[in-house]
Amino acid sequence: MNHSTEVLYPLLILLCAVWTTAIALRFLGIPTILGELLAGVILGPSMLNLFAPNEIINALAEIGIFFLMLHAGIKTDPKDFFKYFKKAFPIAVGGALVPLILCFLLGILFGLTIKSALVIGLSMSATAIVVSLKIFKDLKLGKTKLIHIILGTSVFDAGFTLVLMTIVFSLFRNDFSAISIFMILLRLAGFFVGIILFGNYIFPHFVHIFKSRNKKAFTFLIILALFFSLFAEQMGLSFMLGAFFAGVFFHEQIADKQNFQKIEDRVFSVAFSFLGPLFFVSLGFHFDFSVFYDFKDVTFLVALIFMATFSKIIGAGIMARYFCKFSIYESTAIGIAMNGRAEIAFAVALLALNNEFMSKEAFSALIGTIFFLNLITPLLLKWCILIIKKRGEFYRLKEA
């Protein structure tokens, strides 16, 4: 078997598996991400053992993370974010910190190392922007105030998790001394100062590229994202942070409308039809079914699913109720909508596993938890929205 065949054959099989599971699960109303993860579990060492993690798959998976973060940034509209910042911020704080703390403490209670427990807490703090958008699209809610607030909150959670992950992983590689913490914060500040200066003084000179339809705007966006990612790496931070904020720079206000839609569609296609699915499939390769053989591991899995759901609903819901004056049902809907976890949670988990920051057992429990959360979140949200509509409160969620 020559080198080209060694690359193309796995790609053919894996993408066939991705396409098949996506078609099957679409009829069941289940997020396709879960099908891709399931395909990895079935084809990987845990079951059929047809594939295992290797350099090629790992490299494609990391590029998949790059495009997933870039797309998450593109879906972040700075205009809407600042418009709903006052309401989104307290909800985001509660929705991120409460799951982080409670899931971390749960991990410690079950005997996990501090590193493994922190990774689990970090993964549970983030909200899946993609999952939230998919649910809203399925429910045909349109652009309501509720959606803008939840998306603004999700964006803050995403940024918070990426920044905190960068700090925590840097500390894992070094130590928890005051000097190490200061240097990491200094590098983080340097990164943000750098992108702010770039945005104010350099980026305006290139905006015309996004307004034109014949200047390879898509290629330029990839160059920009790679530049930001490498800049983040040079600052000792995660490339995910750079890719995400490169996407934030590219928004509809600075581009031709048709051009923006075309570029966003291309990034989406690469992220969710090619490289992203390979990333999710590769996660399944690392899944270990032994987590279901031991009573303590099963108990931890069930407890983590409950704690992740409870902490999101309570953390975000209480803030929505008392700081933003939403009704109990509206507040619950906001908490439930933030309960999905996907691209960032998965990426944090895989990077932690590859860097040996968490055990394979803890990783499998975390992946199993994310899997179930994405199954139950759409069902819970549909039920909650139905109650809100029946109570006649839905009109208050609409745009003024």
pLDDT in tens, 202-237: 888 888 888 777 768 889 999 999 999 999 888 877
- The highest-confidence range among 118-132, 170-184, 188-202, by mean pLDDT, is 188-202
Does the pLDDT value for residue 142 go beyond 60? no
Q: How high does pLDDT run on average in the chain?
A: 81
Looking at this protein, which amino acid is placed at residue 3?
A: H
| Cα Rg of the chain, angstroms | 21
User: 88, 127 in Cβ contact below 8 A?
Assistant: no
Number of domains in the chain: 1
Query: By residue range, what is the domain housing residue 180?
Result: 3-397
Task: Enter the pTM of the model.
Answer: 0.79
User: 308, 290 in Cβ contact below 8 A?
Assistant: no
| pLDDT score for 395 | 43
Does the pLDDT value for residue 378 go beyond 90? no
Query: What's 210's domain CATH number?
Result: 1.20.1530.20
| pLDDT score for 325 | 78
Question: If you average pLDDT over residues 59-70, what whole number do you get?
Answer: 87
User: 32, 38 in Cβ contact below 8 A?
Assistant: no
